[in-house]
Amino acid sequence: MASSVTPSSPDLISALGSSWFGAGLPPEAVARLAGIAELRTVESGREVTREGEVTEALSIVLSGRVALRTLVPERGMVTILTVEPGDVVGWSAIVPPHRATSTAIAIEPVTLVELPGERLRALLRSDHALAASLYPRVLQVVNRRLTATRMQLLDLFAREEWGHTKGGSW
């Protein structure tokens, strides 16, 4: 089986609250999020999201690791960074047009707390205090992803430049 989903339970409040993402949120926000959350397991090698496709959920990694990969012309799929427990996959679920900016692949068995995109967006529209708590955390995630992407690009260009000026190859 590629993945499985179980309904929300009181344990989700504890799981969310102990993650990097949830630890920065007020207890009321964690409880509200747990109310729409589902637990999902993903086998190693399976996709969580695919670049360019609609992102169905914002997910917090509880265990395992997820590689974020993007397609680079003439290079193929390049891993931008590896998401560790406590961090987020699928932030695009709450940012229009809700399309994944990278492909997320489980590189070992992964357990996620999933917040379904449509339900999460509705909750954020109706609960401004929750939105005010959640969006800064999501922006921290986006900032880290942009920084990682920038570092990958600098590395890529440095390798190209080195290859052209030194006659070397990697």
**Buried (b) or exposed (e) across 98-135, using 16+ Cβ within 10 A?**
bebbbbbbbeeebbbbbbbbeebbebbeeeeebbebbe
The whole-number pLDDT of residue 170 equals 45
Q: Share the mean pLDDT of the chain.
A: 88
* All domains in the chain, ordered by first residue: 3-117+127-162 (2.60.120.10)
Q: Lowest-confidence range among 41-50, 128-137, 155-164? A: 155-164
Q: What percentage of the chain carries pLDDT values higher than 90?
A: 69
User: Do residues 79 and 67 touch, judged by C-beta distance below 8 A?
Assistant: yes
According to the model, what pLDDT value does residue 161 have?
67
Residue 166: its pLDDT value, please? 55
- Predicted confidence at residue 1, as pLDDT, reads 41
- Is 58:120 a contact under the CB 8 Å cutoff? yes
